Chains A and B, each alone.
Chain A
Amino acid sequence: MSTHVSESESEAQAGTDQQTTDRPAAQQRRLEKKRARNEQRDQASDSTETDGQTVHLKVFRYDPEVKDKQEPRFDDFHVPSKKGMTVLDGLIYSRDHYDSSLTFRHSCRQAICGSDALFINGSQRLGCQTQIDDLDQPVRVEPLPHQEVVKDLVVDMEHFYDQMDTVEPYFQEEDLPSGLEEQRQDRENREKIKMSTRCIWCGACMSSCNIAAGGNYLGPAAINKAYRFVMDEREGEDLKQQRLETIEEEQGVWRCQTQFSCTNVCPKDIPLTEHIQELKREAVKSNLKFW
């Protein structure tokens, strides 16, 4: 069942707090209650293991600040099984009933906020979109590979965001119609960029790409973002040329080895590899000197 940080650890943490509070007696009482409660909770979570109708989750744990968790490990959670249960449901249940320190990002639980991309049974998926019934047990839940782990299942997304920023991810047309007149866009052109605009910035693709791992390759998400603007007819030819120059630089499209791992894991079914290949073709067409 779930494990908890040791009492000595809680105490050490509280010890540093003492400098900021002038109520040591109250603090002492609180700490004593805290210890007793931790023990109770441990016992309670152990007792639920006897029930056969449970799902078994093996969840990665790590916290640089808590002594017991500084060495990465897996914790086992046995969660009552429910029809339609997702991996995210299982994690929330484990946190709310067994161990409130279990940490993961999540918000919309409908596959649009992109915050709960995880490495589930060896594949990048959204926790909220993945039915436990579809997986072999025990279900192994880990943080996204190739990104620094902040704590438990939370990874540092800064590199991902930085790569997105590199492609100047914003509409730049300045020659706009006036007043309430909109820019015209052909239905076909909207259809062309449609899939690329579905990106929810979850980071699954970057994590699955072994070329992006540890390097500076722009990666599938950022290139897809560039695709979204390059192919949008409203931006015009000059901007298109400028954008193509960015994505064909050293760390751009030419690093892609068409392994399709990004396309395979994308929770929004964006044909990422195809978009990268199309940009390679556009780059060749517009800048023959490369060859």
Chain B
Amino acid sequence: MTLYEHDVIVVGAGGAGLRAAIAANEEGADVALVTKLHPVRSHTGAAEGGINAALRDGDSWEDHAYDTMKGSDYLGDAPAVETLCQDSPEETIQLEHWGMAFSREDDGRVSQRPFGGLSFPRTTYAGAETGHHLLHTMYEQVVKRGIQVYDEQYVMDLAVTDHEDPEDRVCQGCIGYDIKTGQLNGFIANNGVVIATGGPGQMYAHTTNAVAQTGDGQAMAYRAGVPLQDMEFVQFHPTTLPSTGVLISEGVRGEGGILYNSNGERFMFEYGYANNDGELASRDVVARAEVTEVNEGRGYENDAVHLDMRHLGEERITDRLENIIHLATDFEGVDPLEEPMPVKPGQHYAMGGIETDENGETCIDGLYAAGECACVSVHGANRLGGNALPELIVFGARAGRHAASEDGADAQIETGSSARTETADVDVPTELGRVETGSEDAVADGGELHSGSPKEVVNRALERQQERVETLMETDGINHADVRSDLQETMTENVNVFRNEAGLKQALKDIRACRERYQEVGVSDPSRTFNTDLMHTIETRNLIDQAEVLTLGALARTEFRGAHWRQSHQERKDEEWLKHTMVAWNDGAPELYYTDVILEGESKEYEPKVRSY
């Protein structure tokens, strides 16, 4: 066991983590990145489409904000959305100044293209591999600044003080498991911890997310007392390859790609799903249209529809979408220059996450979050394509900056249970939360709180995690992979694009069964060297917590908004549901409550309108 001490600890080194570290470094803080992968392995590298930024004459941040509020189905918070749209141009040009290889126009300026749900072609991109370029460009800047990176160091828990009310708690650091050596390390953060661990896509069997996307940061923050917000809003991307879940960028439709059903019909228009924008409607609209086509017998085998880009011509495809040719060929065995690609919706993005304000701060002092793991909230009920990468850089930078220095503007978004406006009562079919076994054999689940000086708090957390690891290593039990696949199966079956009450209740029961079985997991690899068995076992616990929160929120929300479709509730109910779902881990039991959506922006109020494309 070793104790490390830094001003700011950033957990996760994808787009948001790297940007947070650079920002904290620029504020003069001693910052360290702690990440379970090497930074260039982060999933930001798989993002394809682009970065929305109002850069050109005829466009404005106000228009970007309007499109984003509409896309969110009026569940975004205006102060957060406006911050995103105001900061994005500067952050995007910052990347250009750091040498990012954006695609270019004839005059040498960065190119922009149309994307779904946007009223102006404002998506800046680098081929169909924008995330790869963004990730590498920012990692280069981290190397340039000599920022300390602890790679292949899996953060298992946060070290948080044990005050009863989460809003009185302080985050003093975190605990890392050195994957290479099996050693546990304590990280003391003098100023703050920024969680930037990405989404929890591994809850689902069919996802565009990397295997490492297990939402560790969300689960840790949740158990430390930060509510998870709007987790029921899960984005299913309309174009993923059926056999693997590999993403086919919205850029394909942005450049003019067309969706067909098995009758050869351009169904987005012919069946009236989106009479104005067709394939470029918002993602939730297109995903539902595809599943409906398949359900009504107009799909191709594997539950797919066809995405055709051949008419764009080889030159244009090679110039702007070359990566798509490789992906379709390598992972689906289809040459998209010769034939259409089969596609279907796949889990892609978590709109919800760790509740933060627009400075990235949570209700726990010294604990910040940014990127997909956070919910500020800019995406509300549905994220527009091209809005994830600006979120990473805008809120990554803000979180890093604020963690490094106490200065900065006060946030307009209130966090924690004091922002609560309503307590919820929902009929659940099973017990939720911690399993009370009363047995000393029960597998330790982490997430304890501690008191004392920062060093004592970190040390106590360290001991607790050490004990947890020893128990998992000694226990012989079932393989975590069995539990994980059961969880993925029920989420895919019951908490997908289309949802109904019976299915959601079944999912809660299945998740409970997974949680109970988890009490019997054990790590059969006895080695301290690169024990991925141990790491995956801990990740699986995190997935269970998040799946439960998500499904609980989905069961409670009896309306149809954005990505959340409910069979018996086929309309958006603004009177009743213009509010954020919060689930907090209250002494081991999930507590559900609501806070108000903020529709009032800097100079205007965003009035909910019918969303048509």
Interface of A toward B, CB cutoff 8 Å:
4-5, 9-10, 13-14, 17, 20-21, 23, 26-27, 29-31, 33-38, 41, 63-66, 83-84, 95-97, 100-101, 103-115, 129, 150-152, 154, 157, 161, 165, 168-173, 176-177, 179-187, 190, 193-194, 197-198, 200-201, 229, 232, 234-235
Contact = CB atoms under 8 A, between A and B. Distances in A.
A83 B533 CA distance: 27
Interface string B34-53: 00011011110110000000
B103 A4 contact: no
B37 A110 contact: no
Contacts of B37: 107, 113, 115
A185 B101 CA distance: 9
A184 B109 contact: yes
B477 A110 contact: no
Contacts of A20: 466-467, 470
Contacts of A114: 40-41
B492 interface: no
Contacts of A112: 45-46, 129, 132
B589 interface: no
A17 to B, nearest CB: 5
B441 A29 contact: yes
Contacts of A84: 243-244, 331-333
Interface stretch (B266-274, B357-365, B430-438, B523-531): B523-531
Interface stretch (B135-143, B374-382, B572-580): B135-143
B609 interface: no
A105 B104 CA distance: 35
Contact of B522 (A37, A113, A165): A37
Nearest to B472: A30
A114 B110 CA distance: 27
B93 interface: yes
Main secondary structure of the interface of A (DSSP, over half): loop
Contacts of B441: 26, 29-30
Contacts of B133: 197
25 contacts: A5-B526, A21-B467, A23-B440, A26-B441, A34-B522, A37-B477, A65-B526, A65-B527, A100-B480, A100-B481, A101-B533, A103-B531, A103-B532, A110-B331, A111-B330, A113-B37, A171-B98, A176-B97, A180-B93, A182-B97, A182-B110, A185-B102, A187-B105, A194-B127, A232-B99
A286 to B, nearest CB: 21
Contacts of A157: 38
A182 B103 CA distance: 13
B225 interface: no
Contact of A66 (B38, B481, B526): B526
B42 A186 contact: no
Contact of B476 (A34, A83, A177): A34
A150 B529 contact: yes
Given A37-B476, A110-B331, A112-B46, 17 more contacts: A41-B524, A65-B527, A95-B481, A96-B479, A104-B532, A108-B43, A112-B129, A113-B42, A168-B144, A169-B140, A171-B141, A179-B93, A182-B109, A183-B97, A185-B102, A187-B104, A190-B102
Contact of A186 (B40, B41, B108, B143): B108
Contacts of B407: none
A170 B143 contact: yes
Nearest to B97: A176
B473 interface: yes
A175 to B, nearest CB: 11
Contact of B211 (A13, A34, A109, A173): A109
Contacts of A198: 129, 132
* Interface residues on chain B, size class: 35 or more
A123 to B, nearest CB: 16
Nearest to B524: A100
B314 interface: no
B529 A14 contact: no
Given A113-B42, A150-B530, A190 B101 contact: yes
A170 B140 contact: yes
Given A23-B440, A107-B43, A173-B99, A184 B331 contact: no
Given A63-B529, A107-B212, A180-B93, A113 B470 contact: no
B599 interface: no
A14 B481 contact: no
A255 to B, nearest CB: 24
Contacts of A193: 101
Contacts of A190: 101-104
Contacts of B481: 95-97, 100
Contacts, number: 213
Contact of B40 (A27, A33, A165, A201): A201
A234 B110 CA distance: 13
B553 to A, nearest CB: 28
Nearest to A25: B440
A100 B525 CA distance: 7
Given A108-B43, A186-B104, A180 B89 contact: yes
A63 B527 contact: yes
Given A34-B476, A154-B530, A113 B46 contact: yes
Contacts of A187: 104-106, 108
A181 B42 CA distance: 29
B527 A151 contact: yes
A36 B478 CA distance: 12
B473 to A, nearest CB: 7
A207 B439 CA distance: 50
Contacts of A165: 143
Contacts of B205: none
Contacts of B59: none
B110 A65 contact: no
**6 nearest A-B residue pairs (beta carbon):** A34-B476, A171-B99, A184-B108, A101-B525, A170-B140, A96-B481
B151 to A, nearest CB: 9
Nearest to A174: B97
A180 B140 CA distance: 21
Contacts of A183: 96-97
A226 B104 CA distance: 22
A73 to B, nearest CB: 15
B180 interface: yes
Nearest to B520: A33
Nearest to A156: B180
A85 to B, nearest CB: 10
B18 interface: no
B46 A17 contact: no
Contacts of B210: 107-109, 113
Nearest to B536: A100
A200 B323 CA distance: 13
Nearest to A235: B99
Contacts of B466: 20
B524 A150 contact: no
Given A31-B476, A36-B476, A37-B477, A234 B99 contact: yes
A170 B100 CA distance: 10
Contacts of A36: 476
B164 interface: no
A238 to B, nearest CB: 16
Contacts of A168: 144
A31 B474 contact: yes
Contact of B440 (A26, A33, A35, A64): A26
A194 B101 contact: yes
Nearest to A64: B529
B475 interface: yes
B326 to A, nearest CB: 7
B55 interface: yes
